[in-house]
Amino acid sequence: MKIKAREVSASADVMQDLHPVLEQIMLSRGATDNKDCSLAIADLLKPELLLNVNGAVALLLDCLKQQSKILIVGDFDADGATSTVLAKLCLQKFGFEQVDYLVPNRFEFGYGLTPEIVEVAKQRQPALIITVDNGIASFDGVNKAHEFGIKVLVTDHHLPASTLPEADCILNPNQPDCPFPSKNLAGVGVIYYLMLALRSALRERNWFTEKNLPEPNMMQFLDLVALGTVADVVPLDRNNRCLVKHGVNLIRSGRCRAGIRAILDIAGKNRANISASDLGFVLGPRLNAAGRLDDMSLGIECLITENSHKSYQLAQKLDDLNKDRRNIEQSMQVDALKLLSEINIQDNDDLGICLFNADWHQGVVGILASRLKDKFHLPAIVFASSADDKDEIKGSARSIPGLHIRDLLDLIATNNPGLLSKFGGHAMAAGLSLRLEDFPAFKEAFAAALIGLVDAAMLEQVIYTDGNLNEDLLNLSFAELLQDSGPWGQQYPEPLFIGNFEVIQARVLGDKHLKFLLKSADSEHMIDAIAFNVDAEILKKQLTSIEVVYQLQVNEFRGQRSAQLMINHFARAN
């Protein structure tokens, strides 16, 4: 592991009225002007920049005129759930009378608009299927829908193949020739933009006045947009940061969905002080647990209901499922680390990790792949048996910076025709399926492909920091400034600092965490700190001084707020 200071490439006089340390932090993340800090809702990119948005609106207007039935086909993760909820709620508020949703069960139908899920959809007799957070790879499913006389509007954000499905309309910022400047919209962002465009079209037609309908304020849906965006770990470019910032503010003010309030309450989080990271680490996992272990309809209903009692019942079920998921994940990690110890992964020449275990849970392999990627800083693909086909295995891949994992799978598929049944995803995460008997061949193809794509520099984990923080800034006021200057997240990381401290007190919590009282090396300034999941060797030491990489955060305990260091890495521990 190497620790480096972030570089500031822009001129330091670009932004006005910022604390000088915060200004340097923003500039090092590519900020170019004050709009990167203010994130005003008026500066959001406009819906008309999306290719085919007018055609998508026309399809919906035709359904509204006829009051035809619309079926939303979602995905079984947090992005898919929030997309489904947003689409259903918006359309209903716009006056659509027949709107339903269907989410494929992960274990029965798999991902996307498959021909099998279209067979189920046909029973509900929709005139139009709207896919949310999926569909760009659903060639056979779209064709099957057309066989049944059902139109298909695809809204998606995943990377397309060289050809597109023959849908009636496709809305995806990543499709060829789409001029939308931000290619990082999550699925929920794409459907939100479609609903913005549809509302504008209805306003122009005096629809709300003529039907005596209150025109919806689209800000009310940004809690869902923020949740889906952060949980899907898409890059937080300026546009996404704007969406997330205003969504977080909505939640903090208590004007969010009842289900979001309930999940936060059960998790013990004070929603008035949440940050974007809480969407990813508190809300997202509980929603995703439904899709991983059971049925995402549970999460969707939790977000749709306006009944407080029902929302708490559903949120409690989500919390229970998340606890089950954690137990399953921990057991799988033990198995995986045992397998890797047998091949001595850290001394091995392999450039990636590829594992299969027939006893692993299909819904949790993505988390395991992520944990292994983080621990060893290697691209990881983890497979489990398919729940509905004993001769098929399904895998989830996670990558390291510099390696585009979907492109890697595309290369493997091109060089080994017929090896992959299907695959799709992003630069950092992807999913795939193949025959059980082909796992050894895939493992070899994966290792061979990595040789040409991964170099030594990519395999060296680099921790970038924002330098040393003066002792006079180790306080609650500056911690609150950093928190409120977010959202921080993917490709716009939360500020990290490095510093030397004298250890005044240290105690072990839960056999694997460390709680500190620290003193700045050159002063008498004291501050609390905590380190989670500490290496066993450090736990055994009688620490007197440490050099650490940390985040300065706001700690809230029993209503009291204070500054605290969240230790991410130990550079030195004496």
Which pLDDT tens digit goes with each residue over 53-62? Answer: 999 999 999 9
**What is the CATH T-level fold of the domain 2-8+463-573, as seen in this structure?**
OB fold (Dihydrolipoamide Acetyltransferase, E2P) (2.40.50)
Find the helix or strand (DSSP H, E) in which 136 lies: none
- For the chain, helix, strand, coil in percent to 5 are 45, 20, 35
Task: Residue 570: name the closest of 536, 547, 537 by CA.
Answer: 547
- pLDDT (tens digit per residue) in 170-206: 999 999 999 999 999 999 999 999 999 999 999 999 9
Query: Where exactly are the structural domains of the chain?
Result: 2-8+463-573, 47-317, 343-459
- Cβ atoms of 498 and 468 closer than 8 Å: yes
- What CA–CA distances, in Å, run from 464 to 36, 337, 493, 495, 530? 21, 27, 10, 9, 20
d(CA 531, CA 550): 9
Residue 16: predicted pLDDT = 66
**What is the CATH T-level fold of the domain 47-317, as seen in this structure?**
inorganic pyrophosphatase (n-terminal core) (3.90.1640)
Residue 552 has pLDDT above 70, yes or no: yes
**Eight-class DSSP state of 559:** T
d(CA 550, CA 530): 9
- Cβ atoms of 112 and 85 closer than 8 Å: no
* Average pLDDT value for residue range 554-563: 87
Report the top-level CATH class of 343-459: alpha beta
Residue 109 has pLDDT above 80, yes or no: no
In three-state form (DSSP H/G/I as H, E/B as E, the rest C), the secondary structure along 328-353 is HHHHHHHHHHHHHHHCCHHHCCCCCE
Percent of the chain with pLDDT over 70: 97
Residue 94: predicted pLDDT = 98
- pLDDT (tens digit per residue) in 202-247: 999 999 999 999 999 999 999 999 999 999 989 999 999 999 999 9
Residue 379: predicted pLDDT = 95
Indicate the pLDDT class of residue 9, thresholds 50, 70 and 90: low
Residue 1: predicted pLDDT = 76
Residue 361 has pLDDT above 70, yes or no: yes
